[in-house]
Amino acid sequence: MAKPTPTLYSIAKTFMWFAIISLLLLGSLVAIVLMDHSREWKVWQKKFVAIKTERAKKELAEAEAKVDKKQLATLAERLKQTQMERKSQRAEMAKTRKELEALEVRFAQAKTHYQDQKQFQDSYRYYFEEYSTHHDPRAKEFQKKFQTISPKVAAAKKEQDDAEKLRDEKAAQLEDFSAKEKEVKKEIEKLLAEKRLVQGKLDRVKPTLAKDILNAPMLDFLKPSLQVQQIVLEDLYDDYHFAKTQKVDRCTTCHQGIDQKGFEDMPQPFRTHPDLDLYLGSQSPHPVEKFGCTVCHSGSGHSVSFTDAAHTPSGPEEARQWKKKYGWHDLEKWEQKMLPLEHAQASCAKCHNDVVEVPQADHLNEGRRLAAKFGCFNCHKINGFEERWKVGPDLTHLSGKVDEDWITRWLHDPKAFRPSTQMPQIFHLSNHQDAADRERDNAAIAAITAYLVKNSEPITLMAAPIPGNPEEGEKLVKSLGCLGCHSVGDAKGDSFGPELSNLGSKVGADWLFTWIKDPKHYSSHTRMPNLRLSDPEAAHITAYLLSQRNESFEKTSIPEVMPEVVDSLILESFQGAMRAQEARAKLDQMNADERLEFLGKKSIAHQGCFTCHAIKGFEDQKPIGADLSNEGRKDIHQLDFGFVPIEHSREAFIEQKLKDPRIFDRGKIRSYYEKLRMPQFNFTDAEIESLTTFVLSLTEEQVPLQMRKRLDLKEERVEEGRLLVAQFNCNGCHTFDGKNGTLRELTEDPGAAPPVLDGEGAKVQEKWLHEFLRQPTVIRPWLTYRMPTFGLNEKDTQALVEYFANLSHEEASYKGHPVPETTPEKLAAGQTIFNQFQCVKCHQLDASSAAMGASFLAPDLSLTKKRLKPNWVKAWIQNPEALQAGTMMPSFFVDGQTPLTEILGGDAQAQIEAIRDYLYHENGVAKA
Amino acid sequence: MRPKSLFSAALFSLLMTFAIGSAQAAVTGKALFEGAAPAAEKIKVDADPKCKMMHPAGLEASSVIVNSNGTLKNVFVYVKEGAQGKFETPKESVVFDQVGCEYKPKVFGIQVNQTLEILNSDDTLHNVHSLPTQSQGFNLGMPIKGMKLKKSFSKPEVMVKIKCEVHPWMAAYAGVLDHPFYSVTDDEGKFEIKNLPPGNYVLEAWHEKYGAQTQNMTVAEGEQETSFTFKP
Amino acid sequence: MIDIFKNFVNAISSPVVIFSAATAVFALFVTFPRQATSKPVSLAVLIGALAFFGLGLTDKHFRSIVFMPDNVPIVGLIFIFGYFTWYAMRKAVINDMRVERGEPTVEQTETNEKVLVFPYLIFIEFVTALAYAVILVLWSIFLKAPLEEPANPTVSPNPSKAPWYFLGLQEMLVYFDPWIAGVLLPTLIILGLCAIPYIDRDPSGSGYYSFKGRKAVIVTYLFGFWILWTLLVIMGTFLRGPNWNFFGPFEAWDAHKVVPLLNVNLSELIFIKWLGIGLPKQWFIREAPGILLTALYLAVPPLILARTKLKEVYKKLGPARYQIMVFLLLMMLSLPIKMYLRWAFNLKYIVAIPEFFFNI
């Protein structure tokens, strides 16, 4: 017996372990396959397939219902009949078929025979030609062969053709037997066509076993029905820190219905995108194949999971829901998260550059408008917005306008004087609340006041020659058109210019009189135009505006300023630049007044007052605010959230900054001059939202030129004009270019309101418009509103003329429009028609007609020659409503017919031209 | 007229009334006015010499006309809700005239796409400027006496104002409906809506100055009477 | 309760405390190996470590660091290294006890028994390999490699950490000049490890677990491996945060933390602080004390030790090998010495010659 092998440990136990671990390994392999295979997006695609199947089933049921059952039954009957007929002819069919077979055989034989013969013929011919060329004696032999075989070949061909013909005839005969049946079948198909179509759709869409197999792991490289959908965008790039890659948007993997009509009421992610005519549709300006999704919505386009695509919840509530339902978490490491839906318009600016307003981007446009209004562009450098005007009034002659105390009180709290002011609160904000900082703020205010007063250049003022009557003044203010820019007391007008209440507490009578007589005398760059007021008018308005005072503001106490505080602030400002002893020395050289003025200059430089206001000594200073040109893509880590417990996202930062700019200093220890400086504007929540959209739109992302909306020359002119219109508030009075005039809306009687300027470029001559803008003249004397003189420079005036011309798709030309050629006969006819139509009933100017009320008067026709374009006048007479909807000018040529059938042969066009010529010709209405 | 034809005409119309009336219903009534009739304003028409010739003493404002029997004229009564089915556009036109520097009729009803025949019977420039909000408006200059123009309204609207840009006192109102169930109160303040199928309806009475009033009615066969009362 | 414990741990956490405590524990381990590897002590240590971990996992900062997929292996490393060190020591202690009693060692008794390679070696290796495969597969499924933000060439990650196997060197960089810590010392480590077989030719204690017979070399090696390498790796992984500041295990990693630390060179200490005169202009005069000190450190101890403590070693190895061994030993000990000099005196460099970029 062999010695038993020694054992170290029990093998049986090891087998057991082996078995267990093998099973675990198998399990882990299955786990690998499953985890790789079960992807989030497949779930969504399956859901969408279910939805589409449902719909197709419904459509099928509808199509089924639509089928005319009776008709179908009749046709089925007929079909059966034809089939029976065919069956009864079975014998004949069989015979015919047999004959056809025989003919097929014959044809095949003939064909082979012919081909056979032909090749011999060709061969003989070749040899014959070869040999005869080389004078070989064998040529003769082949010639004979060739000649013998040629007729045989011809015969064979004939036989083949005949056989073919017979065969085809026989085949047609066979066809005939089933012809009728085929026809009936076709009619049945027609009846069921739609149903078949829908059935086909259903079959394609619905999940089947074959599809499930093809979607199985390992097999799904062949032809899966569930697959990742992607749009590769050749011309758009993702910018990953200087590495540019083509955008690949895989959003449509889950958002399967986004570009199809019909899913508007589905829950996300299947919902159709709003407004398919503007976005995503193949005919829209932003087709999905060329733009994808992330260029507008941001986010990680190439991810296919919900969290990794960087979806942004609309608020903490939705964030909670997402966490629960989808295991969502904030993607900290991804810089460009999806823009919240309310800020999606921020992406428009990437491609729509150099326009004043992006069409249909109302949030963005509102944000831009607010940014311009509150002077954001003055303090912050933003690429593309550097050339904007200063929004604050000119302070170079300030002591001629207001007294020192007023300035100090104003700086302490502007809203105490004028709650609707654009001027933000600069001092005593949330990071200057402790006693020491309050004192310093008081010192800074006093210092600024001292500086402004000391550096105010003298200005000559006029006094009103007569005492003004406040009631007269009130009437004038409400009727001259001041409300087109200002609100005054209880009269609500536009909020473009400052509200003119309580001016009695602010300015002196001489200053106000001088100002409204000629604003540019006091402030050369002011946007306020000249209303060409007469002295009495100006005196009355002055008296009215000064009649209101703000008593509580006047009584506000002015806090005392300690000289030590002034000194310490000056020394603190020297800290970085020189050593303490030198600073002290410099300070000791100045007396008290000099110190205050010095501190004032320092404070103005520190707070950036000069960015919005023109101040002497600060003409060339640069803006002090942060450069916001790339704020929309700024690194989150570069935003100083400080200790404020808000979400670390750009939107949250911007919103918080606009709500309380100084809050990020909370909890920090900083010296006075190191603290945050942005003033508090007290924006409403809606304003903050629009402004956030605007700030998020500021990026330096370079979209390739071919994908951007490039403006052609005409559009550029229009945008230049739009900027001027925004700068000077033309829409305060006039309705045009998609905006309603404030004053026009406020005036009940449209005839008494400022005219609508739509179509002005097609209407008036450029030369006239140019002159008019430089020096307005009266066109409609019954209007109380007065078009002011804006005093624009030549470049701006021309820009406006071109703007109007290009808005009406016309070329601006200063050449002038020649008087149209005409005949004496036409002129005479024109005069007759003019009298018959009684044009002067409305187009007249004497006193008696004034009693009819403003709406029944129309412009003086003697202006026509210089002012209106002849083509326009012709179109106008033909159909005024088409050129100016709602106009009071009636149509005399209704439906192209004239009521005067005897003149010029009743030809409406000729009559219109006649009237027009009469208006222009020097023997007519036009006075040379 | 000869008695024989008169009798047959009367018999015929009686039969017709029965024939039609037996299957349909009609709503008649009055628009009453409570209170004292306001004094009519005088309007000067000096601006247009032709109008001045016709009315040397001026015109009376016609926005409120109270009849002698205490009823209100020019109240537009119509079926606001309940009219069902499609109604043919009548082939006849509604005549709208400008005579004596006034619009005649001042208040009228017209069906959608029915022709409005506009006449100018005065020897001066008149203007018909309609101001609908639902359909396309028109602004017609009519300088020639006797000229005629045809227009229509494409959508129902109650009421469309019509004014003249040359003569500010002229104003008319058109009630555009897609059914023929309307009526305007006359000199006796009476209105009559004929050929109404039985059913539930909401009737509205509209006046230029005193607003609109509604009434729910269940209309059975035969004639029904109702009334609206307006107060100043 | 837990918070008090956590705050306490955070408060006492600092490099010097941890290093000293670890050294103390190590000293106990090698002085009392039998007690250290006895059942009750071993169990207590294991349970204590697990309890600390379990407690720590309740803290979110601890969790976020420990569960980072990169750091999970290092956690494993602590337990695995610890286990194998304990296992070896246990075996050694057992052998030593048997030798004391005059019995043959475990290996000797085992040598007489022979079994077949297959199945006793192969099979169990195979099953273990399968088990590893399962662990790796499950690990790869549940601990995914992290995908962070797109690389930004203008922003360096904070903290910038080397891979774990170099974290020991990165920690040394705190105390040494980059030339020394990054080039000189690693070279010496490698050369030293290569040189071990040539220095230590003593066959005693080879082939079986033993501690008594090879106490000196085992202690030296374990000190270098555990305290001067593994401990620094663990510190670098878990306790060094942004800006290479030290953070306690339950502290949040704050990139804005500012810890005052001003280190001075020896020359500045001597000439400015003690003598009160300015730094000499010439570098050799300025660094003379430091250079002298270093020279003395490398020259004197070998001579003294050869005559006293290491007399037998000197005899056994001979002058050349002895010199090399002592040199390597001194270089190894220079690390903890420098560390303590830094902690005690805020000493930056013993020899600082910025003119040649040479500092010790």
Tell me how long chain B is.
Answer: 232
Give the Cα separation of A326 and A320 in Å (integer): 10
Of C113, C137, C154, the CB nearest to A32: C137
Residue C94 sits in the same domain as residue C222: yes
Q: Please enumerate, as own/partner, the contacts of A555-558 that have beta carbons within 8 Å and a separation of 24 or more.
A: A556/A409, A556/A412, A556/A413, A556/A416, A558/A405, A558/A408, A558/A409, A558/A412
Name residue C318's amino acid.
Answer: G
Q: With bands split at pLDDT 50, 70 and 90, how would you rate the model's confidence at B19?
A: very low
* pLDDT, position A819: 79
- List all residues of chain A from 132 to 171 with a beta carbon under 8 Å from chain B: none
Region B141-167: mean pLDDT is 88
Q: Which two tokens stand for residue C76?
A: 């494993």
Give the Cα separation of A409 and A394 in Å (integer): 18
Q: How many Å is the Cα radius of gyration of chain C?
A: 24
Nearest residue of chain B to residue A850 (CA atoms): B47
Q: Containing domain of residue C352, as a range?
A: 260-360
Whether residue B9 is predicted with pLDDT greater than 60 in this model: the reply is no
Q: Do A890 and B141 touch (CB under 8 A)?
A: yes
Q: How many domains does chain A have?
A: 6
Residue C217 sits in the same domain as residue C353: no
Q: Do A891 and B140 touch (CB under 8 A)?
A: yes
Q: Do B168 and A855 touch (CB under 8 A)?
A: yes
Q: How far is CA C174 from CA C45, C159, C168, C224, C267, in A?
A: 31, 14, 10, 18, 19
Nearest residue of chain A to residue C158 (CA atoms): A637
Q: Which two tokens stand for residue A66?
A: 């639509």
Q: Which two tokens stand for residue A744?
A: 């026009």
Q: Do C130 and A333 touch (CB under 8 A)?
A: no
Question: Cβ contacts of residue C244 below 8 Å, gap of 6+?
Answer: C159, C174
Residue A519 sits in the same domain as residue A497: yes
Looking at the DSSP assignment, which residues form a beta bridge with residue B81?
B202
Per the CB < 8 A criterion, the answer to whether A104 and A171 are in contact is no
Q: Do A881 and B142 touch (CB under 8 A)?
A: no
Q: Which two tokens stand for residue A884?
A: 């100016």
Residues in chain A with CB shorter than 8 Å from the CB of C137 are 25, 28-29, 31-32
Residue A656 sits in the same domain as residue A553: no
Q: Do C150 and A635 touch (CB under 8 A)?
A: no
* pLDDT, position A928: 38
Of A25, A241, A637, the CB nearest to C150: A241
Residue A575 sits in the same domain as residue A665: no
Fold of B88-178: Immunoglobulin-like (2.60.40)
Residue A654 sits in the same domain as residue A721: no
Residue C102 sits in the same domain as residue C170: yes
CB pairs under 8 A between A and B: 60
Give the Cα separation of A492 and A486 in Å (integer): 8
Q: Encode pLDDT of C243-290 as tens digits.
A: 999 999 888 898 888 988 888 999 998 888 888 888 888 888 889 989
Q: Do C119 and A11 touch (CB under 8 A)?
A: yes
Residue A510 sits in the same domain as residue A458: yes
Whether chain B has a CB inside 8 Å of the CB on A563: the answer is no
Whether chain A has a CB inside 8 Å of the CB on B37: the answer is no
CB atoms under 10 Å from CB of A343, counted, come to 27
Residue A527 sits in the same domain as residue A637: no
Residue A761 sits in the same domain as residue A867: no
Q: Can the peptide bond before residue A269 be classed as cis, meaning omega within 30 degrees of 0?
A: yes
Name residue A84's amino acid.
Answer: M
Mean pLDDT by 10 residues, chain A (928 residues): 64 89 93 89 93 92 86 88 86 90 94 94 92 89 91 93 93 87 89 89 90 88 90 90 90 92 90 92 92 93 91 92 93 88 94 92 95 94 89 93 94 93 94 92 95 93 91 92 91 91 92 94 93 94 93 91 93 90 92 93 95 93 93 90 91 96 93 94 96 95 91 94 94 93 88 89 93 92 90 94 93 82 87 84 60 64 87 91 84 84 86 88 58
Q: Which two tokens stand for residue C279?
A: 């730094």
Q: Containing domain of residue A893, as a range?
A: 824-920
Q: How far is CA A742 from CA A734, A755, A760, A807, A855, in A?
A: 7, 12, 19, 21, 19
Q: Is residue C133 part of a domain?
A: no
Residue C79 sits in the same domain as residue C11: yes
Q: With bands split at pLDDT 50, 70 and 90, how would you rate the model's confidence at B7?
A: low
CA contacts within 13 A on the Cβ side of C301: 15
Q: Which two tokens stand for residue A466?
A: 């007569």
Give the Cα separation of C73 and C238 in Å (integer): 12
Residues in chain B with CB shorter than 8 Å from the CB of A841 are 48, 125, 166
Q: Do the domains B24-83+184-232 and B88-178 sit in the same CATH topology, yes or no?
A: yes
Q: Which two tokens stand for residue A216?
A: 């199985």
Q: Do A852 and B137 touch (CB under 8 A)?
A: no
* C60 min Cα distance to partner chain A (Å): 16
Residue A476 sits in the same domain as residue A558: yes
Nearest residue of chain A to residue B146 (CA atoms): A899
CATH number for the domain that contains residue A715: 1.10.760.10
Q: How far is CA B74 from CA A9, B35, B175, in A?
A: 118, 17, 12
Q: Are there at least 3 beta-carbon pairs closer than 8 Å between C and B?
A: no
Residue C353's φ and ψ, nearest 5 degrees, are -120, 80
Give the Cα separation of A689 and C207 in Å (integer): 78
Q: Do A635 and C127 touch (CB under 8 A)?
A: no
Q: Can the peptide bond before residue C159 be classed as cis, meaning omega within 30 degrees of 0?
A: yes
Tokens 């305060």 — which residue?
Answer: A732
Give the Cα separation of C278 and C280 in Å (integer): 6
Degrees to nearest 5, angle at CA A354 with A351 and A358: 65
If residue A442 lies in a helix (H) or strand (E), which one and from where to where? Answer: helix A435-454
Choose one of A565, A589, A612: the last residue of a domain.
A612
Of A836, A856, A891, the CB nearest to B166: A856
Q: Is residue C37 part of a domain?
A: yes
Q: Can the peptide bond before residue A419 be classed as cis, meaning omega within 30 degrees of 0?
A: no
Go through C123-150 and write b for each residue having 16 or more CB atoms within 10 A of its CB, e for each that does not.
bbeebeebbeebeebbeeeeeeeeeebb
Q: Is residue A326 part of a domain?
A: yes
Instruction: Name which of A17, A36, A641, A668 to mutate to probe chain C: the one with the most chain C Cβ atoms within 10 A of its Cβ.
Output: A17
Q: What is the CATH number of domain B24-83+184-232?
A: 2.60.40.1120
Residue A113 sits in the same domain as residue A136: yes
Residues in chain B with CB shorter than 8 Å from the CB of A884 are none
Looking at the DSSP assignment, which residues form a beta bridge with residue A352?
none
Which DSSP category does C258 fall into?
-
Whether chain A has a CB inside 8 Å of the CB on C84: the answer is no
Whether residue B84 is predicted with pLDDT greater than 90 in this model: the reply is no
Residue A682 sits in the same domain as residue A583: no
CATH number for the domain that contains residue A172: 1.10.287.620
Q: How far is CA A342 from CA A303, A699, C177, in A?
A: 23, 18, 55
Give the Cα separation of A441 and A857 in Å (integer): 60
Nearest residue of chain B to residue A841 (CA atoms): B166
Domain range list for chain B: 24-83+184-232, 88-178
- What's the N-to-C CA distance of chain A in angstroms? 145
Give the Cα separation of A726 and A348 in Å (integer): 20
* pLDDT, position A249: 95
Of C126, C147, C150, the CB nearest to A240: C150
Nearest residue of chain A to residue B145 (CA atoms): A899
Residue A261 sits in the same domain as residue A370: no
Q: Is residue A814 part of a domain?
A: no
Q: Is residue C11 part of a domain?
A: yes
Q: Is residue C93 part of a domain?
A: yes
Q: Do A837 and B143 touch (CB under 8 A)?
A: yes
Q: How many domains does chain C have?
A: 2
Residue A598 sits in the same domain as residue A742: no
Q: Which chains lie within 8 Å of chain C at 3 or more CB pairs, if any?
A: A
- List all residues of chain A from 889 to 908 with a beta carbon under 8 Å from chain B: 889-892, 894, 899-900
pTM: predicted TM-score of the whole model, two decimal places? 0.84
Q: Do B44 and A851 touch (CB under 8 A)?
A: yes
Instruction: Name which of B46, B165, B167 to mutate to probe chain A: the one with the most chain A Cβ atoms within 10 A of its Cβ.
Output: B165
Q: With bands split at pLDDT 50, 70 and 90, how would you rate the model's confidence at B224?
A: confident
